[in-house]
Structure 1
Amino acid sequence: MSLKWVDVLEIAIQLAETRPDVDPRYVNFVDLHRWVTELPEFDDEPGRAGEKVLEAIQAAWIEERD
């Protein structure tokens, strides 16, 4: 399975699994963007993500963690 920016929930799940010690409430968007693009299954254009997509991923990650 390949991940695209629209796969917000799956990205959040994978971030929660790969970075269990990170509190997503305090992640800046530069780090978040890098971590998403570093996921092994991520296969999308890095430049296609804007602030709204990163906010959605962060919110889903917070929800997943709680």
Structure 2
Amino acid sequence: MPREITWNDAEEIGIQLQEKFPDLDPLSVRFTDLHKHVTELEGFADDPSKSNESKLEAIQMAWYEEYKDAQ
């Protein structure tokens, strides 16, 4: 079982999102969809209501870095 992740684990979430959605440009994802993707990750163990714009933005940027590296 993967370790539990929370909203504060932006880098780990970015890696997992890149693995799950390798062809999806993170900058094209709306925050509502990003929130859904994060809460559905295996190992996600945080309160879905504890996200905010800055946490989602940090996750999106971490995911984007992984996305660029994979191109």
Q: Same fold (TM over 0.5)?
A: yes
Band the TM-score falls in, shorter-chain normalisation: over 0.9
Provide the aligned C-alpha RMSD in A. 0.5
Detail structure 1 runs of 4+ shifted over 6 Å in the superposition.
none
1:38-58: per-residue Cα shift (whole Å, max 9, x none)? 001100000000000000000
How far apart are residue 30 of structure 1 and its match?
A: 0.3
Q: Which one of 50, 53, 60 corresponds to residue 52 of structure 2?
A: 50
| Aligned amino acid, residue 15 of structure 1 | L
What's the TM-score, normalizing by structure 1? 0.97
Instruction: Structure 2 unaligned segments of length 5 or more: list them.
Output: none
2: distance between equivalents of 1:26 and 1:40? 23
Identity of aligned residues (%): 52
Q: Give 1 or 2 for the bigger CA radius of gyration.
A: 2
How far apart are residue 64 of structure 1 and its match?
A: 1.1
